[in-house]
Structure 1
Amino acid sequence: MNTTPATAAMSLLVGLAGQQNAGKSTIFNMLTGANQHIANYPGVTVDKKYGSYRYGGTRVEVVDLPGTYSLSSFSLEERVTRTFLLGDKPNVLANVVDASSLQRSLCFTLQLLELEIPLVLVLNMMDVAGRSGLKIDTNRLQHRLGVDVIPTVGRRRDGKQDLREAIRAAAVRREGKTLQPGYELLEPALEEMRQAIDQTNLATHYPARWLAVKLIEGDEEVLGQVTWHLGGGNAELQQAERLRDSFFEQHGLSTADYMAGCRSRLAADIVDFCVTETKKDRASLSELVDQVVLNRFAAPVILVATVFVIYHLSIVKGYDLTQYWWPILASLRALASDLLPAAGMLDDPYIRAMGLWMVDSANALLNYIPIFLILFSLIAILEDSGYMARIAFILDKLFHAFGLHGQSTLPYILGGVFAGGCAVPGVMSTKSIPDEQSRMATILTVPYMNCLAKIPFYTLLVNVFFAPYKSWAMLFLSTITIFFALLVARLLTSTVLKSMETVPFVMELPKYHLPTLFGVGQRAIERTWQYIKKVGTIVVAVSVCVFTLLQFPGLSEERHGAFHDKMDQATATFRAKIADTPHGERFADDKALLELANLYTDYRTAKLNAGSGAAGVDDKFQAAAPELFAFLKPADQDAKTVSTALRQLDSQRKTLRRQIKEEQIVGSFLGMIGKGLEPLTQWAGFNWKVNVAILSSFAARESSVATIGVLYQEGAEENKSLEERMSAETKDGGFTPLHALAIMVFFALYPPCLATTIMIKVQTGSYKWMLFSIVFPTLLGFVVASGIYTGGSALGLSGIQMMAWFYGLVVALALATGLYKTWSDKAPPIVRVPDFRTEKG
């Protein structure tokens, strides 16, 4: 292995390994400070966190490896960790262990020692161990293991210098004698296998004894690597297979389980030798808290309360904070508007229109930053405190019946189990789910939740078509999506996700810890910045595509000319009204008039965005255009005449621009697609206007109501509400509550919005799954909506009657699916992991 003295190199590579909840992240932060970066390991979605520091003139790069319980090839995290240790060959391995759970942690340490990499044992959480009545003799432990043992309290930065010095010393020191686990009955076979490996080229790639252990253990990935190096059917593989079979026949136990038991007994022996317990008969604080938190009656209540607090603080209060954050984004948009070519009276330069569209698309995503900061802070608190593991433990059995995981809970909460969530943070939070199949099922079903952007559309249709049944209709919408998500998850895990990797649910309930302000804040900022970088690299390209579909091919020359004629009439009227003032001649020039009109539009927009700070807007505009500002805030009669005429001109200009936009949408590629789909979508009760609204909402759900507002214009001049306009127009066209029900259900199942689609690409690393997340929900939603509309029409049911029948059918199907899955899992597999609890389902 790599034992090159550090003095011969200008840098060191250090791997930071440990089990989950051992405080590895706090040790990483303690060592590297703010000099950190996050990426993904090549080909996988597991985080690669690395940082660096300088010590004694040497640059030390630290790689924070995924938390894992072993070095088998069972889970993605285990494979990533093992691949790094064997492939990158770090100079030193810092093994972070939980001092309050030393025996469990040492089982992993013993596996690391077999890799023959210089190792430092970081005995973290010494304060917790002390409060638990554990006294650890570090000198004894160091002597027994043959490696340096450094006691630390990562959250207080205790032990930082000692750890840095131990890492440097381990890199400089020649390879010493370290403890190697003994496997008793298997030792003769291991020695024979090791000698056989020494005669092959495998010894140049892997430690010989470690490879012998893994071959006899039957590690699938190692067997594959040996086959790749030596070819299938070689003597070493055949010898290992014969030995495994023979051992099982003689002892009724697999070699892997026997080896795990040997490591467990050795770890227990080490703990007996090095640890003294002073509070044996007392229940720990964690045990006392769990008596309440995990109580079969109290647990659901506490969980719901926790979920509500997370939702309320992050989504509700975080959304309230956006009213202070949005003006900052609006000012950035105003800056972009100033830098781009000026707007035309009716037609904007293409570069301006597209530029502002891209800025608006980015701002729609950046507006979530206050939500994310609060959300990720709360998640960090749950993780660091130890309660996140309890949430997964409580709900795993229920979710397992539908192919999900206990840790699918948080993504659903954030996505909108309560109306008003957001699928973007929901999809982001799936990264912590260790089961790849469950993680993918969660990613693909989180968008079914009721995000905040869907609520205006639901509210519109409920108020128009289900006004007497508002409470029932909203209950239907807020719960039907949960049942659909569970059913779809079960369908996906039984079909397209069936071949994906699954792992038994290894559940460890860590001791409760008090989170630190630095750790929580650092992780919240880190995760939010990661979101900004990843989403920002994709959103621009996608927004350009959506812009093109909505803008082109554009108006015909005839229609374009007609709108310009109306604008010319409006400007002529304006000039006639100010002709008798001293300013009439000044605005006879089209360029001067356009400058005034644009200034007025910018001024009104700035006023709306400024809110309580509107006074500062006046000062800004007066300083920028002192002569023209006199017409925005007139002081004399002549200026008031110009100001009044300007307001009327601006109103007519806005109306014409809105009408142009309406016709552009109707004649755009999306509009043509909407009309082209009408012969098909009529089975679901959709007309072309609904098609266009649904298609446009792909960019952002909020745009569905805005698009409908553009398309349903009759009555707008009389200041009728959109509900009144839509109700009158749809009734004339035979639109019924049954139509509305089909539309609402389709909208609930409709593909995720642009931001969520981008996040699905980021989390899965695959355009294939991003495309699937669009196509599958579209087909599913259309089939269900068609069944509702066509079936309800054939049976002569009203909208509210069909709603009740459909709800009962979906709930019954969900219950039947869950019960069938539960009964069919009579003997779920249990992974044999020594010294800590495991559970499947």
Structure 2
Amino acid sequence: MPNLTSSPRSRLKVALAGQQNAGKSTLFNALTGARQHIANYPGVTVEKKSGVYVDGDLKVEVVDLPGTYSLTSFSLEERVARDFLLRDKPDVIVNVIDASTLERSLPLTFQLIEMGVPVVAVVNMIDVAGRLGLNVDPDALGARLGVPVIASVGRRGVGIPELRAAIRQTADCAHVRSPNIVDYGALEDAVADIEHRLAGTSVRPAAISPRWLALALLDGGSEAETLLVGPAGEREAVAAAARQARETFEASAGTSASDHIIACRLRHALDTIQASVQDRRQGLPISERIDRVLLNRWLAPLFLLATIWLVYQLSIVQGYELTKVTWPLLASFRNWASSVLPAAGFLNDPFVRAFGLWMVDSVNTLLNYVPIFLILFSLIAILEDSGYMARIAFILDRILKRFGLHGQSTLPMVLAGVFAGGCAVPGVMATKAIPDLRARLATILTVPFMNCLAKVPLYTLLISMFFPDHKGLVLFYLSTITVVVALLVAKLLTVTVLRKMETAPFVMELPHYHLPTLTGVLRRAIDRTWLYVKKVGTIVVAVAAVIYVLLQYPDLSADRIAYFQGRAEAAIAEFHDRMAGNPHAAAVASQERLIDLINVFTAYRAEKLNAGGKSASDALDAAYSSRHPEFVPFLLRSADPNARKAASALKTLADERKTLRREMKEERLTVSILGRIGQALEPVTRFAGFDWRINVALLSSFAARESSVATLGVLFGSDDGEARRLEDRMEAQGQTNYTALTAVSLMLFFALYPPCLATMIMVRLQTASTRWMLFAIAFPTVLGLMVAGTVQLIGTAFALDGLTTISVVYGSALALFVIVGLYRSPREAWRAARSAPSPATTREIPS
């Protein structure tokens, strides 16, 4: 217990504790403002939010603990909250209580008071309780609890000054009362005996209240025994005494000690409410009336589908339209970076330039999706703050738990891309909220199967090539089979490698509906987007550097370099021959000036493409005329015959240079480390229909999914320099190697293929385990190759076309999905018979 004195303090540590949806985060934001930090608790994946505010000469650190209903360590969140309170020793606990659900909130309050740390109770959302007909008297409630009680409306800032004052007064012992404790009746003798034993030994840590620890030991949780310290013999003696007392009580009382403790706290809560709350409720509350429609057995799925469709319509479709506005800005930044980096050579660029532009392009790829994520996270914040997100989890829990997942697996799957869109990185990040360890891991390992936005380009390419008359049907197959496969894989994992993982029941308070505040939504969206950019951005830069090396080294042989150099010199010589006698030849008399001209011409054409409208194009011409007057005849249209000849000669040389650079790039890729790896993998992937080119595209897509199509564009470069579509080039060069059956195998493999490296790093962060990260790479790879190989085998053996093959695969997966979903083991059937979900709440409280 903290050492409380009456001397003034300079720093305080305050813990915000309370159940889910009680408004903790809102109060946290109101207290700390923008001075916040988000991290993970050491050794676990639960999010830790801390912030600071200054109250006069006092600096107060506020830690927002995970939402929890008790401190029994039943779930990871409960364990994290309990361990923080016991080991980090906050000076004050601020217990945030939902004024409209006092009956379910107060048992946690009693446990916090029993810990012996000074407590300030905040009865939040007092306005909601008032509208429901519940008039809470803070003074009467404080008298019953024996701790200061503040009434607040967190989202409007009501009660915040009073809360800060109460925190200061409580910490300075100027406002401390004698907290009232729960009377546990027939168990009190056992509590007193264990307290006495704890006092007579050194097994109780100094910071832990003996009464709280005695109750925890009697409650039956083995976790409480791990809190004991000192000699092993003394620890075992105290633990054995608690077990004996518990068994004796249960034999005489006919109920478990745990149930008795819960029942006593519930009775004490009801007595406290009766003395401090006037209940004037009439009729059903508005939230329950809304739920009768939104949670209706038949209407709930329709509202859910409409909500998900609206989220994607606004974020993916409209957000993608915004990228058309932001991309020119990023392209302009790329052009600026190109202008400040060392100038390009004729065939080869200086390393600083090549590597720098590679980095810029990699970062731009990430930043281009920021508008989408800002909108998506804003909409998710609206769903959370309004209270509907909890209803979505409740609606889907019955289905998801059949496959080993959890109601709160819904949000990660939505973020990862239930339909065509989304991203696995925020999907994996969102698994923090799942309290069930087994379901959390199963969700982390399966959300990458969703159709992230970066998978769509490859799907579009292959469908356009091989299924031009059935685009909608094939895209429907792909967009839904991934969800089916994800659920089937989750079921497989939970009954095999995850079967021994710790589980917890689906416990969720359905909050009252609220109108979200603009400030809260924007703050949440910006925080989450910035976290995405910060974490993924660093990863993308690191991955881009590795991929650059793998694609560039080893370089071409001396003979091949000499070959390309000879062609370049011939092209330059042809240019000078065409410029012979031309008065404009003086501007490019030296090799250096010719390279400068080509670079200026290349930059001019790039900026010309981004110029919006005639006025911008004219301004660009004027700018280049001012900066490079000697090159104007080569760049701008002119009636001068010599200028037209000069421009034609330059264009021919620039096109030949472009062709040479592209051919060198393709050949360098073939002999690069990554290219050789792709060729080495052919014996393994050939049975799935993949050659080395597809292997290289898949390997590059491990860094970023979008790289698959970009790499194919390089591998299938045009031999004659014509700007033909990638589909045409692949059809011409692939010949009989690529068929519709190959496309089906590749699309299914790509759907199951391990997620990109950024997602893998996020899996490592969320699981705190390299082993699970490697499993998330190996398992989908093996599964994908098995599926792709089976498709090739069956399609070839029965001479099926691509559409028939993918239809058979889809039908088989759907049939297996139905069978697995309907099947219940005897143990599951017994559990289902004993419990039925209730939208009203939480775990059942014995009477």
Deviations 1:728-747 (A, max 9, x none): 4434x354322222122111
Bigger shift: residues 694-703 or 780-789: 694-703
Task: Give the one of 812, 817, 827 matched to 2:815.
Answer: 812
Partner of residue 350, structure 1: 351
What does residue 651 of structure 2 align with?
Answer: 647
For the structure 1 residues 715 and 294, does the alpha-carbon distance in structure 2 shift closer, same or farther, using more than 3 Å as the test?
same
**Shift in Å, 1:629:** 5.0
Counterpart check, 1:587 vs 2:591: no
Q: Does residue 238 in structure 1 map to residue 240 in structure 2?
A: yes
- What's the CA shift for 1:107? 1.3
The 1-side partners of 2:397 and 2:632 are apart by 64
Aligned AA (2:591): D
Query: Structure 1 pair 627/647, CA: closer, same or farther in 2 (3 Å)?
Result: same
Q: For residues 831 and 183 of structure 1, what CA distance do their matches in structure 2 show?
A: 28
**1:197, distance to aligned residue in structure 2 (A):** 0.4
- Which range moved further: 361-370 or 148-157? 361-370
Shift of 1:388: 0.7
Give the direction of change, closer, same or farther, for the CA distance of 1:618–1:669 in structure 2 (3 Å limit): same
Cross-structure match for 1:695:
699
Offset of residue 706 of structure 1: 2.7
Alignment of 1:427-442 (within 5 A): 427-442=428-443
Aligned pairs (5 A) from 1:821-832: 821=824, 825-828=828-831
* CA spacing shift, 1:796–1:245, aligned 2, 3 Å: same
Hey, what's the Cα distance between the residues in 1 that align with 2:460 and 2:496?
Answer: 35
Q: CA-to-partner distance for each residue in 1:498-555, whole Å, 9 max, x for gaps?
A: 2332211113211111111111111111111111222233322222211111111121
Determine the C-alpha separation between the residues in 1 that align with 2:766 and 2:436. Answer: 14
Structure 1 residue 792: Cα displacement:
2.6
Partner of 1:143: 143
Distance 1:93 1:748, change over 3 A: same
- The superposition leaves residues 61-104 of structure 1 with CA deviations (integer Å, 9 ceiling, x where unpaired) of 11111111111111111111111111111111111111111221
The correspondence of residues 537-686 of structure 1 with structure 2, limited to 5 A, is: 537-611=538-612, 614=617, 617-618=620-621, 621-622=624-625, 624-628=627-631, 631-635=634-638, 637=640, 638-686=642-690
| C-alpha contact 2:637 2:644 (8 A) present in aligned 1 | yes
Q: Deviations over 1:748-803 (max 9, x none)?
A: 11111233333333333433333322222111111111111123323333333322
1:522 aligns with 2:523: yes
Q: What is the match of residue 727 of structure 2?
A: 723
> What aligned pairs does 1:713-792 form with structure 2 within 5 A after superposition?
713=717, 717=721, 719-731=723-735, 733-792=736-795
Q: Distance in 1 between matches of 2:625 and 2:586?
A: 22
Task: Determine the C-alpha separation between the residues in 2 that align with 1:400 and 1:532.
Answer: 32
Provide the rounded CA distance (Å) in 1 between the counterparts of 2:99 and 2:15: 20
| Residues 674-696 of structure 1 deviation map (CA, whole Å, 9 limit, x = unaligned) | 21121221211112222222222
Q: How far, CA to CA, are the matches of 1:674 and 1:811 in structure 2?
A: 33
Specify the SS of the correspondent of 2:95: strand
Any idea what SS the aligned residue of 1:745 has?
Answer: helix
Cα deviation, residue 382, structure 1: 0.9
The corresponding residue for 1:62 is 62
- Report deviation, 1:614: 4.9
> Which blocks of at least 5 consecutive residues in structure 2 are unaligned?
none
Deviations 1:367-409 (A, max 9, x none): 2211111111111111111111100000011011111111222
Q: Which residue of 2 aligns with 1:414?
A: 415
SS in 2 for 1:826: helix
Partner of 2:99 in structure 1? 99
* TM-superposition CA deviations, 1:652-671 (whole Å, max 9, x none): 22111111111111111121
Aligned residue identity for 2:85: L
Distance 1:756 1:712 in 2: 28
State the alpha-carbon separation in 2 of the partners of residues 768 and 289 from structure 1: 46
Which amino acid is 1:560 matched to? I
Equivalent residue pairs, number: 838
Q: Following the alignment from structure 1 to structure 2, what is the Cα–Cα distance between the partners of residues 782 and 61?
A: 52
Partner letter of residue 786 of structure 2?
A: V
Contiguous gaps of at least 5 residues in structure 1:
none
Counterpart CA distance in 2 for 1:508 and 1:231 is: 42
Relative distance call for 1:4 and 1:686 in structure 2 (3 A) is same
**Structure 1 SS opposite 2:829:** coil
Q: How does 1:438-457 map to 2 (within 5 A)?
A: 438-457=439-458
Q: Which amino acid aligns with 2:666?
A: E
* Counterpart AA for 1:341: P
Q: 1:357: how far off?
A: 1.7
Shift in Å, 1:129: 1.0
Deviates more, 1:538-547 or 1:609-618: 609-618
Deviation at 1:231, TM superposition (A): 4.5
| CA displacement 1:107-137 (0-9 Å, x = unmatched) | 1111100111111111111111111111111
Aligned residue identity for 1:656: L
Q: Which runs of 4+ in 1 moved over 6 A?
A: 829-836
Q: Could you tell me which amino acid in structure 1 is paired with residue 450 of structure 2?
A: M
In the other structure, the counterpart of 1:177 is 178
Query: Of residues 256, 270, 273 in structure 1, which corresponds to 2:272?
Result: 270
1:257 is the counterpart of 2:259: yes
Between the aligned partners of 1:546 and 1:707, the Cα distance in structure 2 is 12
State the partner residue of 2:89: 89
Q: CA deviation at 1:720?
A: 4.2
The answer to whether the 8 Å contact 1:372/1:425 transfers is no
Change (3 A) 1:698 1:312: same
Do the aligned residues in 1 keep the contact of 2:659 with 2:721 (CA within 8 Å)? no
- 1:802 aligns with one of 802, 805, 808: 805
**Counterpart of 2:108?**
108
Q: TM-score, normalised by structure 1?
A: 0.95
C-alpha distance 767-326 of structure 1, shift in aligned 2 (>3 A)? farther
Segment drifting more, 315-324 vs 428-437: 428-437
* TM-score scaled by length of structure 2: 0.94
Q: Is the 8 A contact 2:116 2:208 kept in 1?
A: no
State the alpha-carbon separation in 1 of the partners of residues 714 and 240 from structure 2. Answer: 73
Indicate the larger mover: 574-583 or 169-178: 574-583
**Distance between the aligned counterparts of 1:216 and 1:568, measured in 2?**
88
Preserved contact between residue 405 and residue 438 of structure 1 (Cα < 8 Å): yes
Is the CA contact (8 Å cut-off) linking 1:104 and 1:835 kept in structure 2? no
User: 1:227 Cα deviation (Å)?
Assistant: 6.5
Deviation, 1:287, is: 0.6
CA distance in 1, matches of 2:245, 2:597: 90
Q: CA deviation at 1:624?
A: 4.4
Shift of 1:831: 9.4
The CA distance in 1 between the partners of 2:237 and 2:836, in whole Å, is 29
Q: Distance in 1 between matches of 2:624 and 2:500?
A: 63
Pair 1:444–1:164, CA change in 2 (3 A): same
1:814 shift after superposition: 1.5
Q: Is the 8 A contact 1:18 1:68 kept in 2?
A: yes
Q: Is the 8 A contact 2:2 2:207 kept in 1?
A: no
- After the TM superposition, which residues 504-523 of structure 1 pair with which residues of structure 2 at under 5 Å, given as runs? 504-523=505-524
> In structure 1, what is the Cα distance between the partners aligned to 2:104 and 2:170?
24
Contact (CA 8 Å) 1:699, 1:753: kept in 2 or not?
yes
Counterparts of 2:479 and 2:230 in 1: how far apart (Å)?
53
Aligned counterpart, 1:165: 165
TM superposition shift of 1:562: 1.3
Distance 1:833 1:193 in 2: 37
**Residues 1:421 and 1:529: Cα distance change in structure 2 (over 3 Å):** closer
Structure 1 residues 170 and 694, CA gap change in structure 2 (3 angstroms): same
Distance 1:839 1:480, change over 3 A: farther
> Are 1:302 and 2:303 an aligned pair?
yes
Q: State whether structure 2 residue 54 is matched by structure 1 residue 51.
A: no
